[in-house]
A = this chain, B = another copy of it.
Amino acid sequence: MMPVVSSGSDSTKTLRKAVILLSGGLDSYTVAALARRQGFELYALTIKYGQLHIQELEAARRVAHVLDVNEHLELDVDMASIGGSALTGEMPIPKDRSLDKTEIPATYVPARNTVFLALALGWAEVLHVCDLFIGVNALDYSGYPDCRPEYIKAFEHLAALATKAGTEGTAFHVHTPLIKLTKAEIVKCGIEMGLDYGLTHSCYDPGPNGRPCGHCDSCRLRARGFDVAGVFDPLITRLD
């Protein structure tokens, strides 16, 4: 039976590994740093799913490097062939959308977090890890259904039934430390930890030089977060 690892005990230190879904964006960088601060050894998982803003993969590598992760695994999964999303090229990226709209935008990728968490679960089981971290956020976000607490809870229930480890008593825990924070609170949290957000990439539709468009949801949520936090975004400062 896989040991169910508790946090906070020195005696279990060698067992305290966690799988972190690391996109290369602001949120997943913050989550990874929080996990490390909690004492976890980091196993970072980055998924190449056919996203057009491939610049985030380089950001994920930069972030993995500065966080000194134990392992950084990049996995390919062909979600572009499924289609249905602006992020994989099915339709244009929406620009200058009201961030207060409740409708789910075209950047939604059908079943993306379920695919991502399933792959993270598989790797976690191989590593004998029961802690997964994901940077979902249900406050300053684009309304994606697979970012909500009830979804995460349902995935944890599924994980126990889906796996050999689960049948042996392992309880998988999907940590979502950002789920109830505003983007400004996330930025403040990261700044307090000394994170360099200039390493990250958020834009869904960057220019050929990698420069953020400034108009997609992701750019605008990020800008609002830095603005409300009263902090300059080093990514923008550095480019100017």
- Interface of A with B (CB < 8 Å)? 73, 75-79, 81-84, 104, 108-115, 118-119, 121-123, 125-126, 145-146, 148, 150-151, 154-155, 157-159, 161-164, 166-167
Query: Using Cβ atoms and an 8 Å threshold, which residues of chain B touch A154?
Result: 154, 157-158, 161-162
Given A83-B126, A126-B83, are A115 and B119 also a contact pair (CB < 8 Å)? Answer: yes
Q: Are B76 and A111 in contact (CB under 8 A)?
A: no
Q: Are A110 and B148 in contact (CB under 8 A)?
A: no
User: Nearest chain B CB to A44's CB is how many angstroms away?
Assistant: 13
User: Nearest chain B CB to A87's CB is how many angstroms away?
Assistant: 12
Given A161-B151, A161-B154, are A119 and B111 also a contact pair (CB < 8 Å)? Answer: yes
Q: Are B77 and A78 in contact (CB under 8 A)?
A: yes
Alpha-carbon distance A26/B240, docked complex (angstroms): 61
Question: How many copies are assembled?
Answer: 2
Alpha-carbon distance A239/B113, docked complex (angstroms): 44
Q: A122 contacts which of B82, B126, B150, B155 (Cβ < 8 Å)? A: B82
Q: Are A78 and B81 in contact (CB under 8 A)?
A: no
Alpha-carbon distance A162/B123, docked complex (angstroms): 21
Alpha-carbon distance A6/B6, docked complex (angstroms): 46
Q: A110 contacts which of B78, B82, B115, B126 (Cβ < 8 Å)? A: B126
Alpha-carbon distance A162/B164, docked complex (angstroms): 23
Q: A111 contacts which of B73, B77, B81, B162 (Cβ < 8 Å)? A: B162
Chain B residue nearest in CB terms to A123: B82
User: Nearest chain B CB to A199's CB is how many angstroms away?
Assistant: 24
Given A82-B119, A125-B111, are A104 and B145 also a contact pair (CB < 8 Å)? Answer: no
Query: Using Cβ atoms and an 8 Å threshold, which residues of chain B touch A123?
Result: 82, 110
Alpha-carbon distance A154/B163, docked complex (angstroms): 13
Query: Using Cβ atoms and an 8 Å threshold, which residues of chain B touch A114?
Result: 114, 118, 121-122, 158-159, 162
Query: Using Cβ atoms and an 8 Å threshold, which residues of chain B touch A111?
Result: 118-119, 121-122, 125, 162-163
Most buried by B among A78, A83, A111, A118: A111
Can you identify 14 A-B contacts, CB atoms within 8 angstroms?
Answer: A73-B82, A75-B81, A77-B78, A83-B126, A110-B121, A110-B163, A111-B122, A114-B114, A114-B118, A115-B115, A115-B118, A115-B122, A155-B158, A157-B158
